[in-house]
């Protein structure tokens, strides 16, 4: 809980944090998928 005096402020920060977490998870998924793809391609070559 962020604990601001004004609930609206807490709601704004919570929304920003949720968006940030979602964006970071999307980027992590993209990097993970690229790593898996590269690994599979390297197995075919080697």
Find tokens 């070559």 and name the residue: 45
pLDDT at 32: 95
pLDDT score recorded for residue 20: 95
What pLDDT score was predicted for residue 2? 60
pTM of this structure: 0.65
DSSP letters spanning 1-46: ----SSHHHHHHHHHHHHHHHHHHHHHHHHHHHHHHHHHHHHHHH-
Q: What is the pLDDT of residue 44?
A: 82
Taking the alpha carbons at both ends of the chain, their separation in whole angstroms is: 51
What pLDDT is stored for residue 46 in this prediction?
63
- One digit per residue, pLDDT tens: the chain, 46 residues? 567 889 899 889 899 999 999 999 999 999 999 999 889 888 887 6
């Amino acid at each position: 809980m962020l604990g601001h005096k004004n609930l609206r402020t807490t709601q704004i920060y919570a929304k920003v944090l949720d968006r940030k977490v979602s964006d970071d998870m999307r980027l992590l998924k993209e990097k993970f998928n690229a790593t898996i793809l590269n690994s599979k391609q390297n197995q075919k070559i080697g």
